[in-house]
Chains A and B, each alone.
Chain A
Amino acid sequence: MIRDITLGQYYPEYSIIHKLDPRLKLVVTLVYIASLFIIEDFFGYIIVAAAIFAVIAASRVPPRFVMRGLKPILIIIIFTFALNIFMTSGDVLWEYGWLHVTRQGLYTAFFMALRLILLIVGSSLLTLTTKPMKLTDGIESLLTPAKKLGVPTHELAMMMTIALRFIPTLLEETDKIMKAQQARGADFETGSIFRRVKALVPILIPLFVGAFRIAQDLAMAMEARCYRGGEGRTKLNALKFKRRDLAAAFVSAGYVAAIIMERILL
């Protein structure tokens, strides 16, 4: 059933990683992604892999669960791997017709695949350990300086929060509409592509109508409670940078130092 799709893929746990300030996690994730592009050899990736495994262990998210995030991009990984392995020129190791595998190609292929995997694992760890609402809070807070430039940061964050909040609602709505149309004999699974696209119309129209209805109700409810944007608005759970966040920041700094040292020294 469509309702079974997991979204935001948050994994509830009470680990230190889960409790960290989302702002710190966002910044560290960005730094981590940047670090992946600084590294130029496999030894660097050993440091990265060690670090990421330490974080996974600390987060108490089952590694199996983390690896699940790789599934959707598996095709991209395989594609880049194949592209690199066959398209890179250099010392030929194996040849068949116009296909050839070079030593450099093999190296680049593994290197790039590893980079992609580490990239996805690292960033999915952020969403696995941070509730979507906290994430948007963090983004809003980090974007505060942009407010001076006239960027409506609160409104952007509110839009994101609402969008996230209503994904499950709309999925449920879709599920209901699909069932109702199926009960009227609609068939979504067979026929040509053209027919299947056409079969979506009886779902999409009620869904849009429903989305507008929900939006209208929500706007009304917000207005009735005197919502008027971010000006002077306080938060129930204000973000606080605690001692453990400071500690985590130091650990992260150590990681960055190690990466840079590796780059300079090796």
Chain B
Amino acid sequence: MTIRVEHLTHTYNKGLAYETKAVDDVSFEVADGEFIGVVGHTGSGKSTLIQHLNGILKPDAGRIWIGDIDITAKGVKMHEIRKRVGMSFQYPEYQLFEETVYKDIAFGPRNLGLADDEIDERVREAMSLVNLKFDEMAERSPFELSGGQKRRAAIAGVIAMRPEVLILDEPTAGLDPKAHADILSMINSVRERMGGIVILVSHNMDDIAATTSRVFVMDTGRLVRAGAPAEVFSDAGYMRGVGLGLPQATEMAAMLGLDGEPGAGVGAAAGETAPGTILDMDGLVDAIVSARIARGPDAIDGTPRGEEDRNGATRDEKGVGE
């Protein structure tokens, strides 16, 4: 399964005074097995873009191929698309409606017209993937679960359709740290077990850096950057310019003057890391250690590299707590 998007444009309120181009001439390709992160500040068109991928929104111009099907073509069966492209919206727990968790997760597979035993198998599989215990949870009302459990039950409802492309819009928004971590590990296990493409939309740069293999940066409806997380996050100035931040470890590395350190990023998302960009805590620790080995115990004093030599300021003079 691959995704190909060509010159996609979507305009809200067309013809009215307040018409806005939510997605403006966006083109990209996604290969099978990729894990794509989509970032952009509020109103940059991320949600509008991804809602095109399963035919919920229709583009004003441009084409979208899911595998070998052009879903923008006339007469295309939306059912076929929804079967292949699963989508979990923001706050998916607000879509729960059935009496039991089991029935709610079965809603999607049932709409696909599957047989009962096939549905049963899929519900069990989906529940185990999102780490909800079948015996405990299946017959409970979805409305009496905790926030994190509700979210996982709702995502299970999408996973149970066994999509080849799984799109998750802000799956961790508003959750406590434990539930947040649960969702992230759930996404990883779903990906391992099911393969296919995963697209994650998030404001949380740490999540993006920790999970994705490629990052799309959206700004005012345009796809302005696309590349490996290390590549995208290496340009801190640009990311701030489009209203985004950096992963905390990357930010911290910059504060410590460790960005661009040779050997940094060793522990970060394997393989795809551009030299010098630290994406996670492991990478940060490695960078600190190697800097201390290379330059002695005073190597890290919170001064960006190079400045120290110019104005001769030391850590004591500058004060530590600034």
Which residues of chain A have a CB within 8 Å of any CB of chain B?
4, 173, 176-177, 179-187, 201-202, 205-206, 209-210
Contacts and interface: CB of A to CB of B under 8 A. Distances in A.
Nearest to B86: A183
B236 interface: no
A184 B56 contact: no
The winner among A4, A179, A184, A187 for most chain B CB atoms within 10 A is A184
B83 interface: yes
A206 B112 contact: no
Interface size class of B (residues with CB under 8 A): 20 to 34
A178 to B, nearest CB: 9
B111 interface: yes
Nearest to A179: B56
B56 A185 contact: no
B214 interface: no
A183 B97 contact: no
Contact of B95 (A4, A180, A185, A201): A180
A88 B220 CA distance: 63
B108 A177 contact: no
Nearest to A189: B78
A201 B83 CA distance: 21
A35 B158 CA distance: 60
Contacts of B51: 179
Given A176-B89, A179-B56, A180-B89, A185 B94 contact: no
Interface of B: 13, 51, 54, 56, 79, 82-83, 86-90, 92, 94-97, 107-108, 111-112, 143, 157-158, 161
Given A179-B51, A179-B89, A184 B108 contact: yes
Contact of A206 (B13, B79, B95, B111): B95
A201 B111 CA distance: 14
A184 B83 contact: no
Contacts of A205: 97
A190 to B, nearest CB: 10
B97 A201 contact: yes
A192 B79 CA distance: 18
Nearest to A4: B13
Contacts of B54: 183
B158 A183 contact: yes
A182 B158 CA distance: 11
A206 B97 contact: yes
Nearest to B113: A185
27 contacts: A176-B90, A177-B94, A179-B51, A179-B89, A180-B92, A180-B95, A181-B107, A182-B82, A183-B54, A183-B56, A183-B86, A183-B87, A183-B89, A183-B158, A184-B82, A184-B107, A184-B108, A184-B111, A185-B82, A185-B83, A185-B112, A187-B79, A201-B97, A206-B94, A206-B95, A209-B94, A210-B94
A210 B97 CA distance: 11
Given A202-B97, A205-B97, A185 B89 contact: no
A210 B92 CA distance: 12
Contact of A176 (B13, B82, B94, B96): B94
B111 A186 contact: yes
Contacts of B83: 185
A61 to B, nearest CB: 15
A211 to B, nearest CB: 11
A182 B239 CA distance: 34
B159 to A, nearest CB: 11
A76 to B, nearest CB: 29
A11 B284 CA distance: 57
A185 B97 contact: no
B143 A177 contact: no
A33 B45 CA distance: 48
A182 B56 contact: yes
Contact of A185 (B92, B96, B111): B111
B107 A202 contact: yes
A187 B81 CA distance: 13
A176 B108 CA distance: 17
B287 to A, nearest CB: 42
A182 B95 CA distance: 11
Contacts of A185: 79, 82-83, 108, 111-112, 161
Contacts of B108: 184-185
A169 to B, nearest CB: 13
A101 to B, nearest CB: 43
A205 B83 CA distance: 24
B82 A183 contact: yes
Nearest to A206: B97
A187 B111 contact: yes
A183 B56 CA distance: 7
A180 B94 CA distance: 9
Contacts of B82: 182-185
A4 B56 CA distance: 16
Contacts of B112: 185
